[in-house]
Amino acid sequence: MSETHSELARSISVPRLLIRITAMLQIALGLVFWSGNAKGLVPVHVVSGIIFVISLWTLAYAAKKHGVSTGLVAFTAVWGLIIPALGASQTSILHGSAHWVIQVLHLLVGLAGMALAEQLTTRVSPTTA
């Protein structure tokens, strides 16, 4: 591979940092929403989620470029489609007292995306993680 160590580190660290920042924001906003407050911040949650998914895909691309298995990269890319699909449709699924199930599922899907990002990062190079 023709990339230097610093280019490799940057190709992984920038999307990883964006994933970590947006993940914290997503969780914080989600907790605020669950408490019934700040519904006006939903657009911030949506934009942050979009940045999260684009960063996840960018990380998957970089990981593939650096030899991470196609299976994990493909799974991560598909998971990146599931996250916004569930997020965008969750308000129309299981209304009423059962809606909490969808909210928890949405949280778990996002957390899994975070775990996939960490998995990709460590598989690229433990020294850049």
Map tokens 């990709």 to a residue.
120
Q: Which two tokens stand for residue 40?
A: 């006006």
In this predicted structure, what is the pLDDT of residue 100? 86
In this predicted structure, what is the pLDDT of residue 1? 45
**What's this model's pTM, rounded to 2 decimal places?**
0.87
In this predicted structure, what is the pLDDT of residue 44? 96
In this predicted structure, what is the pLDDT of residue 96? 83
Estimate the crossing angle of helix 70-89 against helix 42-65, to 10 degrees.
Answer: 170
CA distance 23 to 44: 12
Contact between residue 56 and residue 19 where contact means Cβ atoms under 8 Å apart: yes
Q: What is the pLDDT along the chain (129 residues), one digit of tens a residue?
A: 455 666 767 778 899 999 999 999 999 999 998 888 888 999 999 999 999 999 999 999 999 998 899 999 999 999 999 999 998 888 888 788 888 898 899 999 999 999 999 999 999 865 544
